[in-house]
Amino acid sequence: MSVQMHHVFVYGTLRSGCRNRTIHLPSCESIEAVAAPEFTLRTLGRFPMVHRGGDTAIRGEVLALGDDELAAVDRLEGHPDWYQREVIEVQLAGGGTAQAWIYLMPPESHQDAAVIASGDWVEYLRGLE
């Protein structure tokens, strides 16, 4: 039985060096990527959220996950009740593009949460240190 691979664009706690990556996907490799400037990145304290609308290019990484890993990330992200998973196109470091899943929240949710104008959750965290 072959395992289908899924590309997933992660922008928060599943990025390299972040807590959920270390716990849930420690051996998963990634490539840096950027989503088009069509989104807004907000902080919810211990983790971020992204929604459509806005003009921020979100920085993150693309992971290649098997079916079981994707199901585990769906559970972690509360898909489809908390975050909703959608396909977007991202620019890959070194050139090229990829179609990848992203976990989004509805634009009307958490409108009071602070915007991360840089589009980079990891950079934002470094600024808090």
- Please compute the mean of the pLDDT values over residues 24-36 and round it to a whole number: 94
pLDDT at residue 2, rounded to an integer: 63
pTM of the full predicted structure? 0.94
pLDDT at residue 61, rounded to an integer: 98
- Please compute the mean of the pLDDT values over residues 46-66 and round it to a whole number: 96
Tokens of 65: 């996950």
- Please compute the mean of the pLDDT values over residues 1-9 and round it to a whole number: 84
- Over 60: is that where the pLDDT of 45 sits? yes
Fold of 6-128: Hypothetical upf0131 protein ytfp (3.10.490)
- Residue 18 contacts residue 72 (beta carbons within 8 Å): no
- Cα separation, 61 vs 70, in Å, equals 15
Binned at pLDDT 50, 70 and 90, residue 1 comes out as low
Tokens of 76: 């972690």
Q: What is the Cα 4 distance to its own chain's centre?
A: 20
- Cα separation, 50 vs 64, in Å, equals 20
In angstroms and rounded to an integer, the radius of gyration of the C-alpha atoms of the chain is 14
| Other CB atoms within 10 Å distance of the CB of residue 63 | 26
Ranges of each domain in the chain: 6-128
